[in-house]
């Protein structure tokens, strides 16, 4: 999904942009919404593909939950995540 260069950290690892990936996945859907469980699966697969830790790690899942709730323009209502319309 993320084809552009990701910023490099001092250790030479690429920094994973959680907000950008969450928004990209939601924008790829026609109605700009999807179940939280499916979004988590897609974002964590992308995280693992970029060299992140295991997607089943408790800390990684907790970080995803924190990021999805704090991403501006994204609303979580029960088990559905929606991208807000910005006019």
CB atoms under 10 Å from CB of 43, counted, come to: 22
Range of the domain at 43: 18-83
- Tell me whether residue 33 is in a domain: yes
Query: How far is residue 78's CA from residue 84's CA, in Å, rounded to a whole number?
Result: 16
Number of domains in the chain: 1
- Tell me whether residue 10 is in a domain: no
- Tell me whether residue 2 is in a domain: no
**What pLDDT shows up at residue 37?**
96
CATH number at residue 67: 1.10.10
pLDDT tens, position by position, 10-69: 555 678 999 999 999 999 999 999 999 999 999 999 999 988 778 788 999 999 999 999
Q: Using pLDDT thresholds of 50, 70 and 90, give the confidence band for residue 71.
A: very high
**What pLDDT shows up at residue 86?**
63
């Amino acid at each position: 999904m993320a084809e552009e260069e990701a910023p490099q950290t001092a250790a030479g690892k690429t920094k994973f942009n959680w907000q950008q990936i969450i928004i990209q996945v939601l924008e790829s859907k026609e109605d700009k919404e999807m179940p939280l469980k499916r979004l988590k699966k897609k974002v964590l697969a992308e995280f693992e593909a970029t060299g992140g830790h295991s997607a089943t790690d408790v800390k990684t899942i907790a970080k995803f939950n924190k990021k999805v709730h704090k991403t501006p323009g994204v609303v979580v209502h029960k088990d559905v995540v929606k991208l807000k319309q910005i006019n």
